[in-house]
Structure formats: structure tokens, C-alpha cells
Amino acid sequence: SNMVKVAVVGGEGIGPEVTAQSRRVLDWFAAKRNVPMTLREAQYGLIPYLATGKVLPEDTAEAMDEADAILWGATGGPETTEVPAAARKAGSLLGLRSKYDLYANLRPIVASPALSASAPLKAEVLDGVDFVIIRELTSGIYFGEPRGIETLPDGQRRGFNTEQYTTNQIRRVARSAFELARTRRNKVCSVDKANVLETSVVWREEVIKLHKEEFSDVELTHLYVDNAAMQIVREPRQFDVMVTGNIFGDILSDCAAMASGSLGMLPSASLGPVDRFGRRKALYEPVHGSAPDIAGKGIANPLGSILSVAMLLRLTLNRPEDADLLEKAVQTALASGARTADIAEAGAKKLSTVQMGDAVLGAL
């Protein structure tokens, strides 16, 4: 069938709360804009663990396996400690990224002028910020072997991990960056630590090689990761597409969150390889985590999750007009003063998670 299959997995902490709002948004697009999709909700985390002994029960695994797109909420927090480490690991988000080979993690950083009052950066620094970090998500030090903890002959303990990249791993994520840049302002900045790490030397050489062979029309620059962290704060407007490895991307994208106004606003897409039918498995999730301190209070910001739905509309469903429509509705809601606690100025009225969902649906 032509129906696109979407698995909706709220997960833990504030995940289910924010995902409930993006679910409403998905329903709206299915009903009002005839977006051809079937939704399947599934549980993840402590609740299914208590019922089945698995954080990722069979039903959820099946829903995710068969889905074209997964809308993911969040995982982690104190709930984690109630689940034994082995059970936790068996169904971990890192394991899912790996299982579905979701190697290209896209994190758009777009400043919302409406939020500049509550942002730490000056309005003139935020103004016009619009870039995408592409983080390699299935290799690097997150997955490198050998790894572990050992006891040394003198009784000390030693922890060790392996950072590593092969040329194919570098090439495919760099390709995603160059291709995306061509649809934007045609600039790629590759970030590494080639003055210290051999892994980064190979990274940089392979990016240069691919650029020369296939993308010499795209402007390519390189930054060391320490300098990149500074430049993101100093002048975030300079970037269009930034591509980097797994751990550097993890750090830089949180650093960049402040260049957008708030972490609670940031969506992400994690894309797998294109299969022979031209399809590409994808997982969409807000960049924020499970935020255990505010879970259950109904005050979390659902916009990171709702903007992830816009990425789903654009990338999996190939509905750019609908994606634009949703992104504009979010801006309209913000411009009309809708604020959850995390983005509210002192003294301003604070909407609940559901009320922010209402505000976006009202603007659609």
C-alpha cells in the first residue's frame, strides 16, 4: 500500500506527555490534509518492563521493525535505576540506532526571534541563525571495540573505549551533508580533532576526497572541535551544514541548542541507508531528554517533538508544504505569546504541555 507506517513510542519521563501532543498533530494532518499514514502506538521503558520483563517488548519491537518512521519520545532518568542494567541495555536507544543503522542524525538549529528574550545569547547573535548539525550516529566511540573496565596488576581500575571511523562510515555521512547543503546555502563545515587524533586525520582526508570527487561545487571548510564549540556560541550564523562524528556531535548540538533559544524547541531526525525501493528508515525525536525533574507535571515543552513531526512530514512523507505549514503554525503560536515554562520570560503566562499543543493546533 501507499500508506506510510509510523510507530509512535512515547517512552519515559516527559516523553509520553510531549508525544501525546505530536500525536494530535499527526492526527490533524491525517484527517485534514489527507496525509497517507497509519499510526501504531507502542510502549517503551519501565512500564512494559514491569509487565513483560523487557523495556522493549515484542509488540513494540515489531511496531518499530515494520515502521517507515518512528516518532520517539524520550528514555532515561530515575526510571532507569528500577530496571536492571542488562534489561535496560537489551532495548536501549543506542541499540535501536545501531539495529536500524540510523547513521545520519540531523539536528536543525533555527533561532526563533520570538524567544530571544529568554535566550542567553544576544538577539543580534541569534538573528538569522539557521543551520543543521549532521552527527554520525552509529559508530565512533559510542560503539568502538575494545571497550570495558579492567583491573590492573597494581590493583587500580582502568576504563577504556575505542574511538574509530572507517572510510565508508565517514563517506556516507559526509555524503548526507553535501547533499543537504546543495538544497540550502551550499556550505559544509566538517568538524574533527585532526591535530591530535588519527581517527580525525582519516575523517578529514575522506571528507576532502569525497568533496573533490563528487561535491566540489559545495563550499567545504574544516574546524577543530574546540574551535567549533566556540564559534557556535560566538557567531552561529556562519554555519549552514556542519558534519561531525558521534561524540563531537553529541556535545556540539547541545552547545548549539542555546543558539536556537532553547533545548526544548529542537527536533531531530536519524536516517538509515536508502534501500533498493528508495525508502529510508527514520527515527524522529526531540533533542531534549526525559527530564525526570518535570515528568508527570504536564509542563514540558512539546515543540521539540512537534517540530520532529515537521521533519517526518518533510523527510519520510515527502510533504514539504505540510512541513512548512506546521513550522509556520509553531512560529505563529510563539508569536502570539504561547510559552511553556522553559521558554517563558519572568512574569509571563506559562502554558501547560496540552495548552501548547492546543496553541499549535489552533494556528494550523
Q: Name the site residues for a copy of itself (rule: CB under 8 A).
A: 76, 94, 120-122, 125, 141-142, 144, 147-149, 152, 156-168, 193, 195-203, 206, 225-227, 229-230, 232-235, 247-248, 250-255, 257-258, 263
Give every CB contact of residue 236 below 8 A, 6+ residues apart in sequence.
109, 111, 121, 125, 126, 129, 131, 256, 259
Binds 207: which of a copy of itself, ligand IPM, none (CB < 5-8 Å by kind):
none
| CA separation for the pair 116, 339 (Å, rounded) | 12
Rounded to the nearest whole angstrom, what is the least distance from the CB of residue 4 to a copy of itself in the complex? 31
Q: By CB under 6 A, tell whether 195 contacts ligand IPM.
A: yes
294 is in an annotated binding site: yes
CB 270 within 8 A of CB 283: yes
Out of 44, 68, 165, 193, the active site residue is: 193
| CA separation for the pair 151, 153 (Å, rounded) | 7
Out of 27, 59, 254, 358, the active site residue is: 254
293 is in an annotated binding site: yes
**In the numeric block, which cell numbers belong to residue 23?**
500525536
42 is in an annotated binding site: no
Rounded to the nearest whole angstrom, what is the least distance from the CB of residue 226 to ligand IPM in the complex? 5
Q: By CB under 6 A, tell whether 304 contacts ligand IPM.
A: no
DSSP E strands, 236-343 = 241-244, 267-274, 280-286
The helix (H) or strand (E) run that includes residue 229 is helix 225-234
Out of 127, 217, 226, 324, the active site residue is: 226
Out of 44, 49, 142, 165, the active site residue is: 142
Binds 318: which of ligand IPM, a copy of itself, none (CB < 5-8 Å by kind):
none
300 is in an annotated binding site: yes
Find the binder of ligand IPM among 206, 250, 322, 342 (CB under 6 A).
Answer: 250
Binds 168: which of ligand IPM, a copy of itself, none (CB < 5-8 Å by kind):
a copy of itself
Closer residue to a copy of itself, CB minimum distance, 162 or 336 = 162
Compute φ and ψ for 220, nearest 5 degrees: -120, 130
Give every CB contact of residue 89 below 8 A, 6+ residues apart in sequence.
95
Closer residue to ligand IPM, CB minimum distance, 76 or 267 = 76
Closer residue to a copy of itself, CB minimum distance, 48 or 76 = 76
Using omega within 30 degrees of 0 as the cis cutoff, is the peptide bond preceding 320 cis? Answer: no
Nearest to 34 by CA among 57, 3, 7: 3
Closer residue to a copy of itself, CB minimum distance, 264 or 357 = 264
Q: Is 100 a catalytic residue?
A: no
Crossing angle of the two packed helices 303-315 and 353-363, in degrees rounded to 10: 40
DSSP 344: P
Rounded to the nearest whole angstrom, what is the least distance from the CB of residue 337 to ligand IPM in the complex? 30
Q: Is 142 a catalytic residue?
A: yes
What does each C-alpha distance from 341 to 218, 337, 348 come to in angstroms? 41, 12, 9
Q: Is 254 a catalytic residue?
A: yes
| CA separation for the pair 207, 202 (Å, rounded) | 9
Q: By CB under 6 A, tell whether 76 contacts ligand IPM.
A: yes
Find the binder of ligand IPM among 226, 235, 321, 324 (CB under 6 A).
Answer: 226
- Across the strands, what pairs with 150? 158
Binds 122: which of a copy of itself, ligand IPM, none (CB < 5-8 Å by kind):
a copy of itself
328-346 exposure pattern, b = at least 16 Cβ within 10 A, e = fewer: ebbbbbbeeebbbbbbbee
Rounded to the nearest whole angstrom, what is the least distance from the CB of residue 113 to a copy of itself in the complex? 15
Binds 227: which of a copy of itself, ligand IPM, none (CB < 5-8 Å by kind):
a copy of itself
Question: What Rg do the C-alpha atoms of the chain give, in angstroms?
Answer: 20
Q: Is 27 a catalytic residue?
A: no
Residue 201, amino acid: V
CB 325 within 8 A of CB 36: no
Hey, which residues are catalytic here?
142, 193, 226, 250, 254
- For the annotated binding site, the residues are 97, 107, 135, 226, 250, 254, 289-301
- For the annotated binding site for NAD(+), the residues are 289-301
For ligand IPM, the binding residues (CB under 6 A) are 76, 94, 195-196, 226, 250
